[in-house]
Structure formats: C-alpha cells, structure tokens
Amino acid sequence: MQWKRRLAIGVLTLGILVGCATTGEQMATKEKSLYDRLGGKPAITAVVDDFVARVAADRRINRFFANTDVPSFKAKLIDQICEASGGPCKYTGKDMKTVHAGMGITDADFNALVEDLVATLDKFKVPEKEKSELLAVLGPMKKDIVTR
Ligand code: HEM
C-alpha cells in the first residue's frame, strides 16, 4: 500500500506545482492598462497641459490653433488619450477625419506635433515602453489627419 500513498503524494505535489505555475503565468500576462501605467487621469492631464503649451509655442504649427478654445481642446484631448489607453473616460469630440478636414495638415506638421508630445513625455520621464505604446495608439490616426 506504500506505493499508493507515494503516488497520491506525487500526484498532489504535481498538481500544486502546475497550479502555481499557471497562476504565475496568469499574473504575468495580466498587465495593467496603459492608462494605469501612465498614472491615470492626473498624469494624463499634466501631460496634456504641458503638451498644449509646447504646441502653442511651436512656431512650426501654432498658426493652426490661432482660433482654438484651448480649455475645450485640452478636455477633449484628455478624454481621447484616457479612453485610447484603456481608461474609464469616453471621448465625445468629433472623429479625427471630420475635425482635421480642410486644415491642410502635412507630414511635417504631424511630425512637429509628435515631437512636442515626445518632449513632454520625456520631461515627465514616461518610460520608453509606455511612450511607444501611447505613440502606437495615436499613430494610426495620422491617415485621417494628414491631408496634404
Ligand atoms: C495624433 C495626432 C492628433 C490627435 C490625437 C489630435 C486630436 C485632436 C482632438 C481630440 C481635437 C478636438 C476635437 C473636437 O473639438 O471635437 C483636435 C482638434 C484640432 N486639431 Fe488635432 N490632433 C492631432 C494632430 C493634429 C495636428 C498635426 C494638427 C496641426 C498641426 C492638429 C490641429 C488641430 C486643430 C487646429 C484642431 C481644432 C481646434 C479647434 O477646435 O479650434 N491636430 N485634434
């Protein structure tokens, strides 16, 4: 009967090991959302504040924003980034194609804006991983924004 007990203990031990390994794996794959890793709404608000100030001072592109209602623009941008990064917000602004239609935005204009955003993210020491994830979320919008 000794071997039966040994077998039972062996099976039990194996079960526990497999169970632990599975839990560990699940924990490793269940990463926090980009929104949480960025630092949630307060961090995104701080990023947008700094970014919009840079755009406003950027002589390559600030002419586009000459008649912009800045507080409303910032609020929309915050909601958009919050939602796109997996946060609890809902973007209620217009779609990117409609908003930017007729502005004649070029590749160079787009790149200048991204440069300003990267400068902000670097200032706030956003890690490379989160920085590139955020840029990857915004990148696909380019086709609806650049029209020239
Ligand atoms: C990924 C890049 C971009 C994103 C995510 C973005 C996002 C937005 C959002 C959320 C709005 C507000 C929409 C609304 O009012 O309903 C907006 C408006 C606007 N965007 Fe962009 N944008 C981008 C690139 C650009 C570029 C490259 C330019 C020009 C250089 C630009 C110029 C403007 C202007 C002038 C407005 C209108 C502001 C107003 O209401 O007066 N955007 N954008």
| 82 Cβ inside 6 Å of ligand 1 | no
Helical axes 128-138 vs 70-84, angle rounded to 10°: 110
CA 21 – CA 123 distance, rounded (Å): 39
Task: Return the SS3 of 51.
Answer: helix
Among 61, 91, 96, 118, the mutation site with the greatest number of ligand 1 atoms within 8 A of its Cβ is: 96
* pLDDT at residue 30, as a whole number: 81
| 52 Cβ inside 6 Å of ligand 1 | no
| 65 Cβ inside 6 Å of ligand 1 | yes
Q: How many CB atoms lie within 10 A of CB 95?
A: 11
* pLDDT at residue 136, as a whole number: 97
* pLDDT at residue 143, as a whole number: 97
* pLDDT at residue 115, as a whole number: 98
* pLDDT at residue 14, as a whole number: 46
Start-end of H helices in the chain: 2-29, 34-38, 40-57, 70-84, 96-100, 107-123, 128-138, 142-145
* pLDDT at residue 3, as a whole number: 59
Q: What Å distances lie between residue 142 and 84, 97, 107, CA to CA?
A: 15, 9, 9
* pLDDT at residue 107, as a whole number: 97
The closest of 79, 93, 100, 84 to 139, measured between CA atoms, is 84
Q: What Å distances lie between residue 119 and 1, 16, 147, CA to CA?
A: 72, 49, 25
pLDDT in tens, the chain (148 residues): 565 667 565 555 544 555 545 555 445 678 899 999 999 999 999 999 999 999 999 999 999 999 999 999 999 999 999 999 999 999 999 999 999 999 999 999 999 999 999 999 999 999 999 999 999 999 999 999 999 9
Tokens (6 digits) for 85: 């990064």
Tokens (6 digits) for 34: 């980009």
Among protein residues, the one whose CA lies closest to atom 15 of ligand 1? 93
